[in-house]
Each structure stands twice: as structure tokens, then as C-alpha cells.
């Protein structure tokens, strides 16, 4: 496979920038720290377009057609493929540096009829679990793919889904391996095209009071890093269906776009993925007098259970 399909070579970027008359700016020394992630997301449109050209028939429709055949009820891979938990405590800064490569942006590549244009945009988050392309996100991020694919429906203008890493490389969705609609969790496989993802080390259950960090991509704020603690661990059984739902509540801040993003402990181990927020109002009928928002995440043991020998 052509490695350059996923990132434009820096020389080419330089030529393009020169042609556009964009000269290196005055604060270039600070660019390593102050990242222009929206530009990276914007650049994925060209990469996605190129991928579609070189991999015809491997877009969203193909994913839909094979979605049911690819789903597994049991183990998606042996437990040994997961990275064991780290034991050394890290500073917040170290956690960020260590974990940033594992946090991925979920993007959609769509055709817009009105502008007769194909373009990519980000809409959620994910985390790498294995170097060869197994990742976790939320069920609600892939639910439309799974449900429409299950009934053999094609969706106009949905060209491709892919993940983007912090360097702007893209990893197209290949397969949905497992879904847990009750707990809002999905395991997917992406095409790494010979690259290796940086998998998160997999932690264990974390009790209330444990320090946690969220490294996700709320709308317009890529690689947003927040700290907090585990505020609650709850289990509820639906009285009608008998099915159990597990929620790990945290105080780290996140919002729309963070769905599926990783939550790490202070050793840099994955302990949960973002799921949803629940807003508490004093007058809930009128959505008035907002008081607090519960941040609800999917505990990591549900992911770990998908990997058995």
C-alpha cells in the first residue's frame, strides 16, 4: 500500500503553501505547542478523496453491506493483544504526552448535493486499542451504520468513515466488530495501511475519588484535555428488560464531539470512554435553572470483556 495516501508529504505541503503565498509566520517556533488541528481535519478531505480513488468500493456502503457478517457476539480478539496497565504514576503533562497518540478523531466524508462537493468533518472521538487497528468508540457513533446496514439500506452521500490521529493521518473504517447498544460501546477495526496505531494501555475498575483525565475532541476543540475524578459508579437494571447498564460518572469536562473519547487514570491507563452528559435542571419540565451536568462514561471492563483467549 502507498504510505503517502494517508499523509501528504511535507515537501508537497511546503510547495503548496509556497504557491499559495503562505510564508512561514513570525511565531513558527511555537507551532509545536500551538497545534492547528482544524487545518489537519480540513486536510483529511484530500486524503479521504485519494483513499476512495485507490480503494474503490471500500466506503460506507461496503461497510454497511458487511456490517452484520462482521459483528461478533463473543471475543473480538485474544486478550493478549491488549496493552497491559502501567503502574507508574504520571504528572498530568506526562499523561497528556503519553496518551495523545491513542486518542483519535472520528470523521465522516460526505458528498454535499447543494455544493456538488465532497468534504470531511469530525463528529466524535475514539481510542486505539491495538496497533493493528482495533479501536473503541460509542455505539451511538456507529448506530446509523449498523442499523441501516443490518437492513441492507444504502445511504446517499455517506462516502466514508475514518479516524484521524494527532498528526493528521487517516484510518478508514473497515469493520464493526462488536456493539453493546445498552452500554453505548462499539469496537471497530480500521485500515492502518501499514502504520501502527499507538494503543492505550488498558486499566482496571476505578473507584470513586480516583483522578481521571479526559482527552477527547469536543466540537472545535481537538485534543481537549481536562482533569477530574470518578464521581460515581452506578449499575441499573431495566425493570422491563432485565438488562444491566453500567455507568462510570466523572467530573472531567467534555461535550458534543467527545463521544467515544478516552478517559485515563493518572498512570495513563484507559479506564473508560465518554458516553453522554445528563443535565440536571431545578425545573426540568421547562429546562430552566440548570444546576449540574453528570458526565457519564463507559467503564473499561466492558471493553476488556470483548477480548478473551
Partner 1 sequence: MKKELLATAVALALGFGVNAQEQKKQPDAGAQQANEMVNKMKEEAAVYYAGADTADYGVRYRLRYLCNKKKNIRFEEDRVVLINPDVTLDMSYQGIGETRWRMANPKGQGGDRSLAYHLTPDFYFYYPSSGRMVRTYRIVSEEFLLDDAKCENNWKITDEEKKIGEYNCRKATLDRGGRQWAAWFTTDLPHWGAPRTFAGLPGVVLEVADADREVCWMFNGLVNSIPDSKLYIKMPEKFAQASPEEFRKILRVFSLSDNSYVQQSGVMNKNSSHYPEKYSPSTGIDACEIDNPIER
Q: Return residues touching partner 1 (CB under 8 A).
A: 68-69, 71, 73, 139-140, 143-144, 146-148, 150-153, 155, 179, 181-182, 237, 239-243
Question: Between 45 and 148, whose beta carbon lies closer to partner 1?
Answer: 148
Question: Between 126 and 271, whose beta carbon lies closer to partner 1?
Answer: 126
**Beta strand ranges found along the chain (DSSP E):** 103-112, 117-128, 134-137, 158-164, 170-180, 185-190, 201-202, 211-216, 224-237, 244-250, 262-265, 269-283, 288-299
Residue with cell 452528559: 277
**Min dist. Cβ of residue 249 to partner 1 (A):** 20
Question: Between 208 and 236, whose beta carbon lies closer to partner 1?
Answer: 236
**Min dist. Cβ of residue 72 to partner 1 (A):** 9
C-alpha 120/C-alpha 237 separation (Å) is 39
Question: Between 52 and 147, whose beta carbon lies closer to partner 1?
Answer: 147
Joined grid coordinates for residue 216? 477527547
What is the Cα gyration radius of the chain?
20
Question: Between 159 and 215, whose beta carbon lies closer to partner 1?
Answer: 159
What residues pair up with 250 in beta bridges, in sequence order? 230, 295
Q: How many helices (H) and strands (E) does the chain have?
A: 7, 13
Question: Between 8 and 155, whose beta carbon lies closer to partner 1?
Answer: 155
Residues 6+ apart with CB under 8 A from 196: 131, 132
**Min dist. Cβ of residue 240 to partner 1 (A):** 7
Residue with cell 503562505: 22
Residues 6+ apart with CB under 8 A from 24: none
**Min dist. Cβ of residue 71 to partner 1 (A):** 5
**Min dist. Cβ of residue 53 to partner 1 (A):** 27
C-beta separation of 287 from 281 below 8 A:
yes
C-beta separation of 81 from 189 below 8 A:
no
**Min dist. Cβ of residue 85 to partner 1 (A):** 30
**Min dist. Cβ of residue 185 to partner 1 (A):** 12
Question: Between 99 and 146, whose beta carbon lies closer to partner 1?
Answer: 146
C-beta separation of 301 from 204 below 8 A:
yes
Q: Quick one: which H or E segment has residue 89?
A: none
User: In terms of Cα–Cα distance, which of 134, 113, 110 is closest to 122?
Assistant: 110
First to last CA, the chain: 31
Residue with cell 493478549: 80
**Min dist. Cβ of residue 302 to partner 1 (A):** 14
Amino acid at each position: 500500500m502507498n504510505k503517502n495516501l494517508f499523509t501528504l508529504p511535507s515537501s508537497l505541503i511546503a510547495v503548496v503553501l509556497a504557491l499559495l503565498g503562505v510564508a512561514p509566520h513570525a511565531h513558527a517556533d511555537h507551532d509545536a505547542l500551538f497545534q492547528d488541528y482544524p487545518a489537519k481535519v480540513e486536510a483529511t478531505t484530500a486524503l479521504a478523496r485519494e483513499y476512495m480513488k485507490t480503494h474503490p468500493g471500500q466506503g460506507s456502503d461496503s461497510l454497511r453491506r458487511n456490517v452484520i457478517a462482521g459483528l461478533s457476539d463473543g471475543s473480538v480478539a485474544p486478550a493478549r493483544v491488549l496493552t497491559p496497565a502501567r503502574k507508574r504514576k504520571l504528572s498530568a503533562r506526562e499523561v497528556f504526552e503519553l496518551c495523545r497518540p491513542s486518542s483519535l478523531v472520528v470523521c465522516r466524508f460526505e458528498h454535499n448535493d447543494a455544493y456538488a462537493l465532497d468534504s470531511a468533518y469530525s463528529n466524535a472521538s475514539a481510542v486505539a486499542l491495538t496497533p493493528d487497528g482495533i479501536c473503541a468508540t460509542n455505539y451511538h457513533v456507529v448506530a446509523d451504520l449498523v442499523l441501516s446496514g443490518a437492513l441492507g439500506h444504502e445511504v446517499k452521500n455517506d462516502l466514508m468513515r475514518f479516524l484521524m490521529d494527532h498528526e493528521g493521518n487517516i484510518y478508514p473504517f473497515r469493520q464493526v466488530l462488536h456493539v453493546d447498544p445498552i452500554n453505548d460501546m462499539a469496537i471497530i477495526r480500521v485500515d492502518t495501511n501499514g502504520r501502527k496505531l499507538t494503543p492505550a494501555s488498558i486499566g482496571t475498575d476505578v473507584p470513586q475519588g480516583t483522578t481521571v483525565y479526559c482527552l477527547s475532541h469536543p466540537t472545535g476543540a481537538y485534543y481537549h484535555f481536562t482533569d477530574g475524578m470518578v464521581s460515581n459508579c452506578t449499575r441499573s437494571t431495566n425493570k422491563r428488560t432485565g438488562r444491566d447498564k453500567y455507568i462510570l460518572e466523572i467530573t472531567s469536562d467534555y461535550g458534543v464531539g467527545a463521544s467515544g473519547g478516552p478517559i485515563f487514570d493518572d498512570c495513563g491507563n484507559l479506564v473508560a470512554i465518554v458516553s453522554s452528559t445528563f443535565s440536571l435542571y431545578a425545573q426540568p419540565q421547562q429546562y430552566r435553572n440548570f444546576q449540574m451536568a453528570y458526565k457519564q462514561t463507559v467503564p473499561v471492563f466492558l471493553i476488556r470483556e470483548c477480548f478473551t483467549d
